[in-house]
Structures are given as C-alpha cells and as structure tokens.
Chain A
Amino acid sequence: MTLVLAEELAAAFRSRRLLRVMVGRELAARNAGAVFGRAWVYGQPLLMLAAYFLLFDVILGARLGDVAPRRGMGVFLIAGMLPWMAFTDAISRAMTSLVDAGSLLQKNPLPPVLFPMRSVLASLTTYGPLMLLLWLAYTPYHRFAWPALALPLLVLVQFALIFVLGYLLAVMVAAMRDVQQFVGFLLAAGLFLTPILFSFEMFPESFRWILWLNPMTPIVLGFQALLLHGMWPVPAAFLALVAWFGMLGLMLAVAVERSHDQLVDWL
C-alpha cells in the first residue's frame, strides 16, 4: 500500500517542472480575462472573511460564551474559517481535476496524480500566504509562543490531508460523476459540523463524536489553539489526524491500484 503511494509521489516528483508550469497556469486560468487578474486569487477569500466578520461580529454583535477561547466572535470565527475555505476550495477543485483533464490525459502520456496535485498546490499558493498573514495579524494573541511557530507546519499538514482526500475523491468521481454532487452537499453542510461558528466546548458533550467524523475538526482545532492562544491543540486532535491520514491513505492506495489500468478510459 505504501508502495503505491510512494510510486505516485515519485511520479509527481519526476514531473516537478511540468507540475510547476501546471500550477502557474491553473492560477492564471482561474482569473483569465479578469481586469484585476491575479489579485482576485487573494482578494476573493479576503472579501469573504470580511463579510463574515461584518455579519457576525459587527452587525449581529455575536459574543461567544465563557467556555470559548475568545469572546469576540469575529476573531474566533476567522481563525477557523480560513482553513475551512482553503479546504472547500481545494477539495472541490481537486475532486474534478481528473475528469476535467480527460482530453489531456487521453492524448498525452502523463501521470494522473499531477492533476489533483496541481489543484491542491494552486490552492496552497493562494491560501498559504493568507494563512501566514493571519498568523502575523494574530500576534497579539499568540505572541509567537513556541507552539505558534508550528503554524507553517500545520498548513502543510492540512494540504497533505487535502491532497490525499482530493485525489481519492477525484478517482471516485471518475468512476461515478454523482460523487461530485454528494461531496458538494457535504462541503456545504460541513461548515456547521466543524467548530468554526461555535467552539468545540460549546457542542453538546454527548454528540461531540460527530465532530470527529469530520477530517477538518482536528485541523481547525489546531489553527484555533495555535493562533488564539499560542498553545498546542488537545491530544485528541493529534490522534484524529493520524487516524484520518491512515484511513484515507489506505483508501487512496486501494483506489489507485484498482483503477490503475483504466482510469484514463473513465474520463
């Protein structure tokens, strides 16, 4: 199993120069023809964050209870919302990356892994800098305590998780297009099953296990702990992360091996 994944990564590494060109082109293509072009790549998520802040913090004046890490809703919300937006953006693009590249893959001998990886790297290029920006903006909260220095690492872990899940979904979408609709629904509903608009502690204790069924819960908890307190996340978050990596990695290895022969024909 690890062999299959290692082969996929090796194939991507061998084509790294092509991958770079593909990522650059993906970013350019997302806003080709727009007057402000590249600025939209960063402008759009920033405007979304501003809208959330305006609605919850200023207009609704929402304040979290005493159990929450911060009373100000806006500050709390943005720490979880940015990684969530990165997740939905990258997953929805990676999921369709193989199907969208059908004609390209049928005409050129390229490793399929390049396409989900390209989508994920393009999202990392977009959200990575924004996350570092947020890290700097939140200095008053974490004061660069030791754990807070791990944020860049957490960003990489998040995108590694997105890649494994996104590639798996891309193969499944290639097999059956309906998967895309279903995952689209899950992504829309997932916002309410991730501790973003509420804190983990506010969720009824007997139902908290539901939150762990969401691969983004440990990531969001990590962002909140590092950014808002400069503290390590709870040990359960580490465990959940390891479990999710193990399970998704296994499923991806099996899916790649089983679809190996005919993936291109399904596109």
Chain B
Amino acid sequence: MPALKVSNLGKRYQVFGSPRARLRALLTGRQAANNHWALSEVSFELGKGQCLGVIGSNGAGKSTLLKLITGTVRPTTGSVARQGRLSAILELGAGFHPQFSGRDNLYFGGALIGIEREQMSRLVPSILDFAELGEAIDRPVKTYSSGMTVRLAFSLVTAVEPELLIIDEALAVGDQRFQKKCTDRIEAFRKAGCTILFCSHSQYHIRRLCDVALWLDHGRVRAFGGTEHVLSAYETHVRLLEAEAQGPPDAGGPVARPAAAGGRKAAIRALAIADLGDGDPPQLASKDLAVTVRAHVRGGERPNFAVMLEQARGVGITSVTTHYDGAEPRLVGDELWEATVTFHDLPVHSGDYVVSAYLFDSEGIVVYDEWYQHTVFRWVYPARSAGLVSLPHRWS
C-alpha cells in the first residue's frame, strides 16, 4: 500500500456575496450562486520515502491540496488515504497562547498534534535542546521574539519522526544557522524513509530535494512525474508567460548591494567578472567569461557557490554550482571563501547578459545569500549568427 494515495480529490468553495447570504444559505439550505473549484480531479500516489515537490503559480491550489491532505479542510470530492503519523509544518506557532510559558505551550501544542502528556515529558529535553531557548522556556511566549516562537514551534512539530511530513514554504525558519539545523533535520527524516510533501516556489530546492514533482495549474494537475521532466515543462510555461507579460527590462549596471549584516552566518562579499571593459553596460573584453564569487562564512563551514547566466531580458542560459560539479571553493582569508567559474570561448550570441550569484551551505540546501541579477555586461560574439547560443555542431 502506498504511503499516500490521493484519488480524484476536489474542493469547491461556495462564493457568497456577503456574510448575510452565507447565513441565509445556512438557514434555508440554498446553494451559493457562484462556485469556485480550488482543486479538481487530483489523483496521485506516493511510495514510502518518496519526496514530492508541488509547484504552480499563486492560486494554483497548492495550499488547498496541502490542507486537504493534512485534514484541516474537507474535500468536496474524492479521498485521501494515508498511513502513519502526519506532521505538517504550515504556519508555525499558530495556537501558542501568549500568556503561557513556552513549556506550557509545548504540552498544549503537543496535545493538539497527538502527543500525550507522558510522551511529551520524555520529549521536552530534546525539544528544548533543539529550540535553543535556554531559560526563556519558562517565560510567557509573549516575551519571545518571532524567531524564538518559530524555533519552538518547529522543534515541537518535528519532535516525533513522522511517516508523512508536509512542508509549506517552511525552509525560511529563523536565522541562517537555525535554518540549516531545520533542513538537516528534514534531510534526516528523508533518509530515514519519511515521505515528504513539499510545496515551494524555489525550483532549486524542489530539484535538490524531490524525486517527483506535481505541477498544479488552476486547480488541476498539469503534470506529475519525475522532477526534471515536470520542472522543465513548468519553466518553459513560466518563461512564455513572462515574455508575454513584460517587455525587455532595463539593463542597468551593477546594482549596489547593502553590506551584509554583522550577525549573519554567511554572506556574499563580492562578485567580479574579469576583463570587463567600458560602456554601459560594460563590454566583456575577453573571449572567456570568468566570474569570481567571494563570501564570508563563519564557523569553518565550506560553502558552495552557484553562478547563473541569463539574457538581460530574463531568458536563462545556464546555471552552474560547485556542489553539482564537485568543485571545492578555496579558503582565501579568515573565513573568506572564493570560487571562480570560467566559460571558455563564451558560446552565446551578442547581447546583454546578467550574472547572479548564490551562496549555499555545505550540503547545497540552505541558500545563505543571493545576489540576483547583480552584474550586467555586454558581449559581442565574434561571428555573426542568429539565435541564442552557439551549439557544438557538424555539417555533412
């Protein structure tokens, strides 16, 4: 039996003109004039230990699907069959009572997700250890910072290893260091055979973490299958939509970035392109494109870098990462790391291009920092030809 089986799932919302119409419908049993199907005819199966990424634009029905599987919302059609314990990381900290201490809230929050008092007493030390709240645990939650609340909530929700874990854009938990701890814990669940449903706008993370992907469009399944297959179809779709929606964006020079805040664990410090000449945007004077990224990372962790090259009007050309390529950034100073990527005989045609840089943790999961579309440069391809890139080719 699969770990999760979703059959013909659908959710219809009756749209009432006003609360008065809603009350009237309650009293008379009349249906609303307007119906909105947030989700319809969704079916799929997940095996034990599989990780599913759910993608789609806003309003595609991703959250509705997660709520239906979690059970907070009842389906209009179809059914959800699942096995074992389910944990959902939806909105962390909802349900905490501000007047009560963190410890009291742990017991109550535990009762809500099916952890009995005795079991909770055994779990408390490990939860406290993970949440790093120290003595604040016995203070009222109203005195907590938002980061502390979220840390406590995440530790509680993941205190018991679930068979099915649902994550709604929750990789942004607390500060960078805690984010890394969270993703490590989720990774550990995954390795232990936990089935994961993961909803994110970050295609990078879906690629990195998921075996299968589900693309929802206007409440229906547009594609379901291998991550790469579904994502490439989705990306094409998004690019087409964007191209329709907008003209060419402004091709400004390098964008000034604010200096990294002192408290952060890791930040990009510099992005440099070798041999940039004059002009606006500056023209690349070499036939090679060499991009060097430098970052400051605390605590001796060896980071990973990614560099993305796009046309200035947004069509992606390529992205490369140190962790996929097996390259190791070098230590160039006190906690300063650097990596350079070189594209020999840059095989793209003439035009304006933009470079982005990303900084990852040692596993390549947590994005510590990103300089998105940071430097624009102009490139003149030595040969005249139409199109986007020069592909290796042979005439016969």
Contacts and interface: CB of A to CB of B under 8 A. Distances in A.
A107 B94 contact: yes
Interface in A129-186: 171-172, 175-179
A71 interface: no
B286 to A, nearest CB: 55
Contacts of B19: 175-178
A18 B91 contact: no
A48 to B, nearest CB: 24
B227 to A, nearest CB: 28
Interface centre among B26, B73, B113 (most CB of A within 10 A): B26
A167 to B, nearest CB: 13
Top 7 closest pairs, chain A to chain B, by CB: A109-B71, A32-B99, A176-B23, A176-B19, A21-B111, A175-B23, A175-B22
B372 interface: no
B26 A107 contact: no
B48 to A, nearest CB: 21
Contact of B13 (A18, A32, A262): A262
A262 B14 contact: yes
Contact of A261 (B20, B76, B90, B113): B76
Interface string A7-38: 00000000001100110010011001100000
A177 B22 CA distance: 11
Contacts of A177: 19
B94 A104 contact: yes
Interface string B47-65: 0000000000000000000
Contacts of B95: 103-104, 107-108
B256 interface: no
Nearest to B18: A176
Nearest to A20: B111
Interface residues of B, number: 32
A259 B29 CA distance: 10
A107 B93 CA distance: 10
A254 B26 CA distance: 8
A29 B99 CA distance: 8
B108 A103 contact: no
A105 interface: yes
Contacts of B111: 17-18, 21-22
B26 A264 contact: no
B25 A258 contact: yes
Contacts of A175: 19, 22-23, 25-26
A265 interface: yes
Interface of A: 17-18, 21-22, 25, 28-29, 32-33, 103-110, 171-172, 175-179, 254-255, 258-262, 264-266
B204 interface: no
Contacts of A176: 19-20, 22-23
Interface of B: 12-14, 19-20, 22-23, 25-26, 29, 67, 70-74, 76, 88, 90-91, 94-95, 97, 99-100, 107-108, 111-113, 116-117
23 contacts: A18-B111, A21-B117, A32-B97, A105-B72, A106-B67, A106-B94, A107-B88, A108-B112, A108-B113, A109-B70, A171-B26, A172-B23, A175-B25, A175-B26, A176-B22, A176-B23, A177-B19, A258-B29, A261-B12, A261-B76, A262-B13, A264-B72, A264-B73
Contact of B26 (A104, A105, A255): A255
Contact of B74 (A108, A172, A261): A261
Contact of A172 (B13, B26, B88): B26
A161 B119 CA distance: 36
A108 B72 contact: yes
B97 A29 contact: yes
Given A108-B72, A262-B13, 5 more contacts: A29-B99, A178-B19, A258-B29, A261-B12, A264-B73
A183 to B, nearest CB: 13
Contacts of B107: 21
Interface centre among A29, A262, A265 (most CB of B within 10 A): A262
Contacts of A105: 72
A110 B19 CA distance: 24
A110 B67 CA distance: 12
A172 B72 CA distance: 20
A119 to B, nearest CB: 15
A110 B97 contact: no
A261 B38 CA distance: 13
Given A264-B72, A265-B13, A110 B26 contact: no
Given A29-B99, A259-B26, A18 B112 contact: yes
A172 B24 CA distance: 10
Given A32-B100, A260-B74, A107 B90 contact: yes
A22 B72 CA distance: 18
A25 B97 contact: yes
